[in-house]
């Protein structure tokens, strides 16, 4: 008889956001007509910017024209998309070649697929609190996982001295959920460590567009030596509102080798086997994000979220609660007031002020007692939610 993948048995609980959805659905069933203020899941609320919409429309028209019609796209990405991304990095002073850019259908898909490149017996190190998909994607493949808890004393930042014999290390900066950002010197220590130990750093840059302190790195390839030890996973979801449109890209340097095998070449082989490319229309829309016009529009939208984050942070400050994040990230990470645990605080807010946040425990054991607010809601909902929180806790 065919055996299923038994590792699925080891997956804990249901996926965090599914559990939140379940609890909120149960609440709404019991309280019909209530409007919830959703400050939990990291979905965006603002539409795509006009320059991207125009590019998407034009690409649809291409598909209606016999001369301009596009069939299958190259599996690793349309040349115009790869060149546009490389040029964007060049403008930021980071050397990336077009053939090092791989288009994807989003970071989440990629974070799962990329594991194909590595021996499933090499342990993964996951600094926590972390985006829960890191753990689950590794559990599904049977890879041994080492959880590296981080806490407020070190600003929720992982230190390479604690990495041990990890083969694959997840670094998410700015971090979901804590908003912590690895600065240049810490990132350089990780790069040096990985080059010494032979590990590979999986740098999740889904929130790079939120970094506003110019001294902080937005790409791991700003760090010398990273081209020999890192893969960067990027997404247009939070940068440009592509959560529902779906487009991202992954950077794999040509120099990256382990055991004499070239990881860029392996990924080309993987993509040409497991993918038939990403929609031409979406790649046109994605490439448009990097135009000067769209960048200005996208940053206006990002400013809305940054303002929301400040409203949340200021509220927590007035309430005298410990929090991090919100400055270079769209998340604010707070310690639940006594005597509440993460899920109790979740229920308190849902039942009393109809605000939905994310319990810290969902991001790993070291998230227990913490809670995440997302700044991706509308400004009106964010203000209303924070006014209600202030009334409740005062």
Task: Out of 42, 241, 277, 367, point to the residue binding ligand PLP (CB under 6 A).
Answer: 42
Decide if 169 contacts 190 (C-beta within 8 A): yes
Q: In whole angstroms, how close is the CB of 351 to ligand PLP at the nearest point?
A: 26
Binding mask 361-390 for ligand PLP (x = CB under 6 A): ------------------------------
Give Cβ neighbours of residue 87 (< 8 Å, ≥ 6 apart): 290
- Which H or E run contains 126? strand 124-128
Structure tokens given for 116: 């194909």
Q: CA dist 345 to 211, 231, 379, Å?
A: 29, 37, 23
In angstroms, rounded to a whole number, what is the distance separating the alpha carbons of residues 331 and 362? 15
DSSP secondary structure code for residue 219 in this structure: S
Q: CA dist 279 to 63, 74, 315, Å?
A: 11, 10, 42
In angstroms, rounded to a whole number, what is the distance separating the alpha carbons of residues 363 and 366? 8
- Any contact of residue 171 with ligand PLP (CB under 6 A)? no
Nearer to ligand PLP, 82 or 258 (CB): 82
Q: In whole angstroms, how close is the CB of 127 to ligand PLP at the nearest point?
A: 12
- Any contact of residue 131 with ligand PLP (CB under 6 A)? yes
For residue 187, the number of C-alpha atoms closer than 13 Å in the C-beta half-sphere is 27
In angstroms, rounded to a whole number, what is the distance separating the alpha carbons of residues 103 and 77? 5
In angstroms, rounded to a whole number, what is the distance separating the alpha carbons of residues 115 and 109? 11
Q: Compute CA 221 distance to the chain's CA centroid, rounded to the nearest angstrom.
A: 17
Segment interacting with ligand PLP, rule: CB under 6 A, options 5-13, 77-85, 235-243, 256-264 = 235-243
In angstroms, rounded to a whole number, what is the distance separating the alpha carbons of residues 112 and 110? 5
Nearer to ligand PLP, 127 or 277 (CB): 127
Segment interacting with ligand PLP, rule: CB under 6 A, options 105-113, 219-227, 296-304, 349-357 = 105-113
Nearer to ligand PLP, 237 or 342 (CB): 237
Q: In whole angstroms, how close is the CB of 67 to ligand PLP at the nearest point?
A: 33
- Any contact of residue 235 with ligand PLP (CB under 6 A)? yes
Task: Out of 16, 59, 169, 172, point to the residue binding ligand PLP (CB under 6 A).
Answer: 172
Binding positions for ligand PLP, 193-212, rule CB under 6 A: 204, 206
Q: In whole angstroms, how close is the CB of 293 to ligand PLP at the nearest point?
A: 23
Nearer to ligand PLP, 59 or 107 (CB): 107
Nearer to ligand PLP, 131 or 345 (CB): 131
Task: Out of 45, 73, 84, 237, point to the residue binding ligand PLP (CB under 6 A).
Answer: 237
In angstroms, rounded to a whole number, what is the distance separating the alpha carbons of residues 47 and 36? 20
- Binding residues for ligand PLP, rule: CB under 6 A, are 42, 106-108, 131, 172, 176, 204, 206, 235, 237, 243, 248
């Amino acid at each position: 008889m065919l055996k299923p993948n038994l590792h699925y048995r080891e997956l804990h609980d249901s996926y965090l956001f599914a559990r939140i959805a379940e609890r909120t659905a149960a609440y709404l069933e019991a309280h019909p007509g209530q409007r919830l203020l959703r400050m939990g899941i990291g979905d965006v609320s603002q539409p795509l910017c006009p320059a991207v919409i125009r590019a998407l429309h034009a690409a649809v028209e291409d598909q209606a024209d016999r001369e301009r019609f596009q069939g299958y796209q190259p599996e690793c990405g349309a040349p115009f998309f790869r060149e546009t991304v490389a040029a964007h990095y060049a403008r930021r002073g980071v050397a990336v070649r077009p053939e090092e850019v791989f288009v994807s259908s989003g970071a989440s898909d990629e974070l799962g697929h990329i594991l194909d490149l590595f021996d499933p017996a090499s342990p993964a190190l996951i600094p926590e609190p972390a985006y829960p998909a890191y753990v689950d994607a590794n559990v599904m493949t049977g890879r041994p996982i080492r959880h590296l808890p981080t806490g407020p004393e070190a600003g929720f930042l992982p230190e390479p001295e604690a990495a041990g014999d990890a083969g694959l290390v997840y670094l998410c900066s700015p971090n979901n959920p804590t908003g912590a950002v690895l600065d240049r010197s810490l990132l350089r220590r990780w790069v040096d460590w990985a080059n010494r130990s032979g590990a590979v750093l999986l740098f999740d840059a889904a929130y790079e567009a939120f970094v506003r302190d110019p001294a902080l790195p937005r790409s791991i390839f700003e760090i010398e030596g990273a081209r020999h030890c890192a893969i960067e996973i990027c997404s247009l979801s939070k940068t440009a509102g592509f959560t529902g449109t779906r487009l991202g890209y992954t950077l794999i340097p040509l120099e990256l080798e382990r055991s004499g095998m070239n990881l860029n070449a392996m990924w080309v082989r993987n993509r040409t086997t497991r993918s038939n490319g990403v929609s031409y229309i979406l790649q046109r829309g994605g490439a448009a994000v990097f135009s000067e016009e769209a960048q200005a529009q996208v940053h206006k939208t990002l400013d809305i979220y940054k303002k929301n984050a400040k409203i949340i942070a200021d509220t927590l400050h007035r309430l005298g609660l410990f929090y991090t994040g919100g400055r270079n990230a769209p998340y604010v990470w707070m310690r639940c007031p006594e005597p509440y645990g993460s899920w109790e605080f979740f229920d308190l807010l849902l039942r009393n002020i109809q605000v939905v946040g994310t319990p810290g425990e969902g991001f790993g054991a070291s998230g227990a007692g913490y809670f995440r607010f997302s700044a991706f809601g509308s400004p009106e909902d964010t203000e209303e939610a924070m006014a209600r929180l202030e009334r409740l806790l005062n």
